[in-house]
Every structure is written in C-alpha cells, then in structure tokens.
Structure 1
Amino acid sequence: MRTCPYCASGLKILDATFYRCEFCRMTLHSDDTQEDGRRKPVSEEYAPPEAWLSCSTPEMMTFSTVQLIFLLRYARSKRANSYNYVRVFNKAGDAKPSLLQAYKESVQATGEAYEYWTRKAWVIENILRERTGDFPAKITDRYLAELLARIQEINAKPMQISKSRRQRQGSV
C-alpha cells in the first residue's frame, strides 16, 4: 500500500502521478510516496567533495544537514591549518623580525586564508544552527560513524503504530 513518507498514513490516489495525504493535508508526487509505512530514505551520498566548500552561502543552504556537517569538518580543518601557519610566521617574526618582512606576502595570504576559513565555518555553523538549534562542537570519525549508522537505522525502520494492545482493551 502506498503511504505518506512523513506520517505513514494511507494515501488517496488523485491521478497517475499524484496522491493525497489527508493527515498531512498535502499532495505528493508518486516518486515521493513510500510503501507500507517506510520512511523516505536519506540520500546515501553523505560525504560531499571538499570542493563544495567554495560554494556560496545560498548554495550551501540547499545541502543536506549531513553534508553540511562534513563540510564543517573540512572548513575547521583548513582553518586549523591556516592558524598553525600564522603561529609559525609569528614565532619566526618574534625570533627574527627581518624574516617577517621577507615573507610579508606569505604572512598576509596566510592571515587572509585563516579569516576566510573562519568565516566559512561560521556560515556552515549558522545554517546548521538555523535547522537544528545547534551544531557539533567537535566532529570526530566516531561522531560521523555513529551519525551515519543512526541514519541507516532510521531509514530501515518503518513507521508503524501498534494497535494490538489498544484493541484488546476495547479502545480505538
């Protein structure tokens, strides 16, 4: 039986390509409907390419939450690398001020890279915060593995209401 991917209610056929969910009060394309209370699966394409970091903020707003978490990890890594280079230049400059002058362009480029990756991380954090009210403080391999395992677990679990106990008690 065709069911709504959001509430698992049975659907009313409108025509060959559209269905109606009365509970959600919405029309669904046949591609969006599910079978027997299954959830609409979350895409299997979790880890986006690092090149997506160059996308604009409006483009990033179209990415899935999981993809944004991966991008946040990439951005934070790039920011940390830039910060470490800034520290190296500053330490070298403290030891030998003439070195800073010799590498002035590199110092400036490194500082600009740090600012860029900091702002990019903030953009992603704020998109995540708008969606969930929070963003991960630390994104480890374990965090990502647990997140992906939970997504797969939820994808596989159908939405079913157990009616047997209520029916035995005589209620609806």
Structure 2
Amino acid sequence: MKNVVTYNNRCYNNCSKLQQYREGVSMKTCPYCGSGVQNHQHRYYCGFCKMKLDRNEVQENGKRKNLLPQQHPTIEDAKKPTPELMKLSTVELLYLLKLARKERSDTYNNRYIFIQAMKQGAKEFSDAEQYTYKEYEYWTRKCFVIENILRERIGFIPKKINKEFIQNMIQRMQQPVKDMNIQPPKKEVERVK
C-alpha cells in the first residue's frame, strides 16, 4: 500500500509541475526521463532515474539534450588522454578521428620521404626518420583509441569520414524529437486545478 501512496504522490507532484509548465513557469527536468528534478547544493537529483545531475546536464520543460558540440574540436583536442576523449560527444569524436587520420597520413608521407632519401645515401635524415616513426606510432594509437570509443557507441568503425558522413549524422541528430512530457489522466488534471 505504501508504494501506491508514493506513486500517487509522485504522480501528483509531476502533475503539479506539468500544470506549472502549462502556465508558462519554467521547470528543471531530467535529460533522460523528463521528470522534474530537485536542487541539491549546486547539483540536481532525479528521483525517477535515482541519479545526481550537474547543472549543465539539466534541461527545461522536458526538452532533450542537445548533442551537437558548440565548436569544432581541433587537433590539440585529439591529444587529450583517453578518459577525457571518452567524455566527448560522438560528433566531436568523428571530427577528431578525421583529424587524427589526416595527421597520421601526413606523418607517414613525411617518413616515406625520409626513408627514400636515406636509401639514396642521405644518412643525415636518420634522426628525422626515427622522429616521424614515433609520431606515426602516436597518431596510429590515437586513431585506435578514438575508433574503439566510436565502435562502443555506434557499433562500427567508420571507414571514411567525409563532410557528407558528418552532415548526415548531424541532420539525424537535429531531426525533431518529441519533448518528454506525459499527459496526466483527466482526473489528475481536474484534481490539480
């Protein structure tokens, strides 16, 4: 019986919040379930998801999270350690993979030039060849890291990342999505009034 009362109280609280939303009052909501959240010392708590949320995660009025980055990542972002890369959005990782693959390709091409020069007797390029090998290994491993994070998220490693691939992904992410608002039963709405 206690669970029923808790459910009814929770439903009543959410219906009350829904009524506030309809009246134009902004309501802080969970980005995952759309429920109202409670403010707890500079953080928020979602009772339905049973989790704490940072301020930047909380949405308003049942809106869903915006998954697009504010700015394009740079090659410097690709140099971040793996735990930091794991925090980036999928679109950011796609951009970084494109940049890292380009860096790896450029490094490989430079190394190839040094190797060809050394084959023709230019031994002074030995240090440069060793340096470019280390750089090539670094960027290859960075590509592996980013590819594996993407594989965990989207289920595959993109073979080629071009402008069309990224634009297609962005268009799918921008498609209209329904807000996370649940209409209460008519009896509940009448009781709230």
1:116 lines up with 2:143 in the alignment: no
Q: How high is the TM-score relative to the length of structure 2? A: 0.65
Aligned 1:63-74 pairs, distance under 5 A: 63-74=88-99
After TM superposition, give the deviation of residue 126 of structure 1 in Å: 1.6
Distance in 1 of aligned mates of 2:163 and 2:103: 17
Gaps of 5+ in 1: 164-172
1:135 to 153, 157, 160: 157
Contact 1:76 1:117 (C-alpha < 8 Å) held by counterparts: yes
Give the residue type in structure 2 aligned to 1:119: R
Partner of 1:40: 65
Q: How high is the TM-score relative to the length of structure 1? A: 0.71
Distance in 2 of aligned mates of 1:28 and 1:162: 21
Partner of 1:169: none
- The 1:27/1:89 distance shift into structure 2, 3 A limit, reads closer
Query: What are the Cα deviations for residues 37-84 of structure 1, in whole angstroms up to 9, with x where unaligned?
Result: 421222442511221122112222222222111111111000001111
Contact 2:73 2:96 (C-alpha < 8 Å) held by counterparts: yes
1:5 lines up with 2:31 in the alignment: yes
Give the residue type in structure 2 aligned to 1:5: P
Distance in 2 of aligned mates of 1:44 and 1:124: 17
Partner of 1:51: 76
Partner of 1:60: 85
SS of structure 2 residue aligned to 1:103: helix
Distance in 1 of aligned mates of 2:128 and 2:30: 56
1:151 lines up with 2:176 in the alignment: no
Query: Identity across aligned pairs (percent)?
Result: 36
